[in-house]
Structure 1
């Protein structure tokens, strides 16, 4: 299968694909940084520093991966004078650039999975019982990643990653666990938010019988988490498929996956912040008719005089709740959804 797509072509295409994806990532990174540090009033009083740290670490690794890819292309097609030409240089699985790109791929995937576990942990009110299984799966991924990096760094053979038999068991395990972990944590997060959202809706009266209630903010959050989470999961699946069939397309897909992890992280923060600061999703109805009343001025002598000044008085009743706040939710639990993302 790798013969139909030579490694030289695969590496060139991979650099192009990652460069395009990295351009998209930079745009989302700038917007994400602005969202974390600023709001409509200016610099935020409370900054979510854990998210800032994750954003910076992801930016470092994503930028490093693109830079290493360019370095590898230059070495293979310009500087390398050894046997086999560019293909011979690319075949050196333990070349330091190959090893560092493997480190980038593994670390970015582990960070992305770790953020999913963290969000699940926070949304379930810091429940270790809920987080136990995802954490164990994540630790298994860490073990597989360590073995993948060690084998890549110490093998010193002229073979492609997709053809190395020693790597296959750990690569298969890593991708299988990652996919299962993504589906598990995303499903738990969505289930919890939907449960709370249904509880909140039960306390909100509809505008009229048979009318369709507008979507709440939490429903928008559910859609954001599913869409952004599935973007990353899709590329993990594609990388796994390329590995299974032994295709050199794994270079391009895996390089894109490194950057996609950062894009998914940024999009969740950007879109959830936009939803949190948007007007209430429910319609606002007037509970009393608007009217105008003359303004009576009281003189010191006790008399009154009526002037042609009118004050518009209206009363609006908001039938919606903001984030969920009612008796069925623990104190402070509604803040978990926004702090987790």
Structure 2
């Protein structure tokens, strides 16, 4: 049965949706860079800037901008310059055309960068434990293998088929299934870790240096930020997975949207972390301290080195000692 959503309409709709989201991505990038490179009162010195986060944010944006450019070029070639048989649909269904291959590559690369950063955050929160994120790393490597598989098939198929063709179904379905499972597991690990510390805080005592009167704790706000960004990303991936599996041309729209949403979700976590810190700081640093263990940093965004008066730290002090012991620890 013919798809009720023709490929020509799908390509135009995808470009339109992606262009709108690209504008949102651009704005979020501006706020993200502001959070990473400045405080409320001044620009940071070079040694104070978290350059890896700046590089990742810019790389996601550059890849997304490249995909928009490819989409515009592809539509111009198909609708304006191509005069051969089959019309615009013939250009779009040439699966091994370099534009089709590159557009698929930009989508999977963007998704894998987003997944890698999610694993990195989880790794930091669990005290750089590779054991905890080992399952996520295996899933990410599976995504890498299926990425190579997908791109190889597209580049060598040389047939007039769509990206959801039966020849590409096993590889594509595997990729999207793996990335969805990876997101669920890794986000769950993040939330479980933060929730565990928050539960201990409620059981004993909470002390916030920045604002002890806040009704919602810093950890709760961090959890909310992760949940919101995670849901945004997961919905985009799940929608893409569904449209791909059913073989709908709507997959061109969902993948065009996904490549922008990955970057937006990444930027939003940094922006929200900056707001949680209370000023234009690109890092949120939460540490759980007990009388029996050393300080354990739960760095959702790995902060750059800053002087003491430039850093906002929220210390969650959890202790089973007496009130006097707690007061002594607080005074020290």
Instruction: Tell me how many residue pairs correspond in the alignment.
Output: 292
Give the deviation of 1:193 after TM superposition.
0.7
Residue 220 of structure 2: aligned partner: 219
Shift of 1:69: 0.3
Partner of 2:112: 110
Partner residue of 2:126 out of 96, 115, 124: 124
1:326 aligns with 2:289: yes
Matches within 5 A, 1:157-168: 157-162=159-164, 164-168=165-169
Output aligned runs, 1:251-270, within 5 Å: 251-270=252-271
Give the structure with the larger strand fraction. 1
In the alignment, which residue of structure 2 is the partner of 1:285? none
* Inter-partner Cα distance in structure 2 for 1:236 and 1:328: 43
Asked if the contact 1:175–1:240 (Cα under 8 Å) also holds between the matched residues in 2, the reply is yes
CA drift of 1:47 comes to 1.4
Aligned counterparts of 1:22 and 1:328: Cα–Cα separation in 2: 49
Structure 2 counterpart of 1:336, from 299, 303, 311: 299
Shift of 1:221: 0.4
After superposition, the Cα gap between the structure-2 partners of 1:47 and 1:205, relative to the gap in structure 1 and judged at 3 Å, is: closer
Equivalence for 1:51 = 53
**Alpha-carbon distance, 1:2 to partner:** 5.2
Counterpart-to-counterpart distance in 2, 1:199 and 1:271: 24
TM-score normalised by length of structure 1 = 0.81
Quote the Cα distance in structure 2 between the aligned partners of 1:328 and 1:133.
32
Structure 1, unaligned runs of 5 or more = 207-211, 279-321
Aligned to 2:308: none
Q: Given the two structures, how large is their TM-score scaled by the length of structure 2?
A: 0.83
Match for 2:94 among 78, 92, 114? 92
In the other structure, the counterpart of 2:232 is 231
Counterpart for residue 26 of structure 2: 26
Residue 195 of structure 2 corresponds to 194
Following superposition, the deviation at residue 59 of structure 1 comes to 1.0
Matches within 5 A, 1:134-145: 134-145=136-147
Cα distance in 1, alignment partners of residues 293 and 221 from structure 2: 22
Give the conservation status (yes or no) of the 8 Å contact 2:78–2:91: yes
Q: Show CA shifts across 1:184-243 (max 9, x none).
A: 00000001011112223333279xxxxx98210110000100110110110110011101
2:330 equivalent in structure 1:
none
Closer, same or farther: CA 148–329 of 1 in aligned 2, 3 Å = farther
What does 1:270-309 correspond to in 2, within 5 Å? 270-277=271-278
For 1:339 and 1:270, locate their aligned partners in 2 and report how far apart those are by CA, in whole Å: 13
**In structure 2, how many angstroms separate the alpha carbons of the residues matched to 1:330 and 1:36?**
31
- Matches of 2:261 and 2:43, distance apart in 1: 28
Per the TM alignment, residue 44 of structure 1 is displaced from its structure 2 partner at its CA by 2.5
Tell me the equivalent position of 1:241: 242
- Say which one has the larger Rg: 1
Please report the RMSD computed on the Cα atoms of aligned residues, expressed in angstroms.
Answer: 2.1
**C-alpha distance after superposition, 1:48-79 (max 9, x if no partner):** 11111111110110000000000000000011
Any stretches of 5+ residues in structure 2 without a counterpart? 208-212, 280-284, 305-332
Structure 1 residues 130 and 340, CA, compared in 2 at 3 Å: closer, same or farther? farther
Provide the C-alpha distance between the structure 1 equivalents of 2:293 and 2:181, rounded to a whole number of angstroms: 30
Question: What are the Cα deviations for residues 126-146 of structure 1, in whole angstroms up to 9, with x where unaligned?
Answer: 001101110011000000001
How big is the shift at 1:161? 1.1
Structure 1 residues 232 and 335, CA gap change in structure 2 (3 angstroms) = closer
Tell me the residue number matched to 1:80: 82
* 2-structure distance, mates of 1:152, 1:16: 24
CA contact (8 A) 2:12 2:75 kept: yes
